[in-house]
């Protein structure tokens, strides 16, 4: 451990760590969003569909994030629940998967924040946030903080806002413990 590391440790300035599970249907932009959040030097030129899951790490000023990027393909969705410890045509599938997530024993009774990144706002005919909130019945989510953030993985628009909200929730929860 170097001198600077010792000073940082002594002053308790070390960043806290947070684990995040990134879920969504296939082709919803999960991997592109995660790549966009990494420093420019670590971003990749071409995003390929996730098979199974990928682990990505990046840091903000306050937190070190470890993100499990879970494949959204139907044959891999069974993996989602192993890590609990939209297109308009597929919105009913999103709603069903969200309902399954919220009633899962590893999620139901935990006070975890849920960030919904409504990706692809750069496309025409995008579903408005209030309609998405209503269709997914997000206001029915009880005893969990949630936030819907319209964004574009391609342009980066809205991603910073969403990550700031998530970071603030995580830091607030860490202070309570």
Alpha carbon distance 122, 114 (integer Å): 23
What does the pLDDT read at residue 146?
97
Q: What is the pLDDT of residue 8?
A: 46
Count of all residues that appear for the chain in the document = 177
What pLDDT score was predicted for residue 84?
46
pLDDT of residue 14: 62
User: What is the pLDDT at residue 37?
Assistant: 85
Low-confidence ranges of the chain (pLDDT < 70): 1-15, 76-89
Q: Judge if pTM exceeds 0.95.
A: no
Query: Domain limits of the chain?
Result: 3-176
What is the model's pLDDT at position 155?
A: 93
Edge-to-edge order in the sheet of strand 63-70 = 16-22, 63-70, 53-59
For residues 86 and 115, give the distance between their C-alpha atoms in angstroms, rounded to a whole number.
14
Domain at 3-176, CATH homologous superfamily: P-loop containing nucleotide triphosphate hydrolases (3.40.50.300)
DSSP-assigned states of every residue in 149-167: EE--TTT-TTHHHHHHHHH
pLDDT for res 85: 44
Q: What is the pLDDT of residue 71?
A: 75
Residue 80: the pLDDT is 58
């Amino acid at each position: 451990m170097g001198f600077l590391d010792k000073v940082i440790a002594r002053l308790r300035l070390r960043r806290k760590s947070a684990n995040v599970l990134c879920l969504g249907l296939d082709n919803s932009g999960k991997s592109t969003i995660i790549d966009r959040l990494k420093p420019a030097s670590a971003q990749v030129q071409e995003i390929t569909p996730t098979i199974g899951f990928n682990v990505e790490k990046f840091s903000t000023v306050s937190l070190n994030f470890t993100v499990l990027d879970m494949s959204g393909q139907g044959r891999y969705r069974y993996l989602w629940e192993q890590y609990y410890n939209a297109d308009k045509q597929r919105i009913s599938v999103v709603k069903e998967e969200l309902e399954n997530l919220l009633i899962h024993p590893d999620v139901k009774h935990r006070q975890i924040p849920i960030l919904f990144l409504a990706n692809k706002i750069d496309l025409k005919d995008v579903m408005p946030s209030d309609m998405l909130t209503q269709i997914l019945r997000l206001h029915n989510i009880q005893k969990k903080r949630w936030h819907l953030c319209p964004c574009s993985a391609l342009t980066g628009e809205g991603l910073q806002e969403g990550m700031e909200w998530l970071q603030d929730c995580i830091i607030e929860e860490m202070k309570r413990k």
